[in-house]
């Protein structure tokens, strides 16, 4: 099939079908352009981040009784 035949077939498609075709072509080109070495480095960075993550424990604590805050009093002390 020649390029001209492909173009004429694409022109006969609806707008949404042409957009979907463009997206598919874009993804195909992106996959071919990606450098395998860069992909390997990116995967290694992800693995390093996963290895550094550590679980942590949350300790509950109590500060004593509830504290009642009076905004007017606080603002008046600040001169606001």
Is pLDDT above 80 for 34?
no
Is pLDDT above 90 for 54?
no
Report whether 13 contacts 21 (CB < 8 A). Answer: yes
pLDDT at 51: 86
Mean pLDDT of 45-74: 82
- Alpha carbons 40 and 51: distance in angstroms, whole number: 16
- Alpha carbons 13 and 6: distance in angstroms, whole number: 11
Confidence band, pLDDT 50/70/90 cuts, at residue 60:
confident
- Alpha carbons 26 and 33: distance in angstroms, whole number: 10
- Alpha carbons 32 and 10: distance in angstroms, whole number: 23
């Amino acid at each position: 099939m020649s390029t001209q035949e492909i173009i004429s077939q694409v022109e006969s498609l609806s707008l949404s079908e042409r957009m979907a075709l463009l997206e598919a072509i874009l993804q195909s080109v992106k996959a071919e352009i990606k450098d395998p070495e860069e992909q390997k480095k990116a995967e290694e960075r992800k693995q390093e981040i996963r290895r550094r993550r550590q679980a942590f424990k949350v300790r509950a604590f109590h500060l004593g009784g509830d504290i009642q805050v009076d905004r007017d009093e606080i603002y008046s002390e600040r001169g606001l």
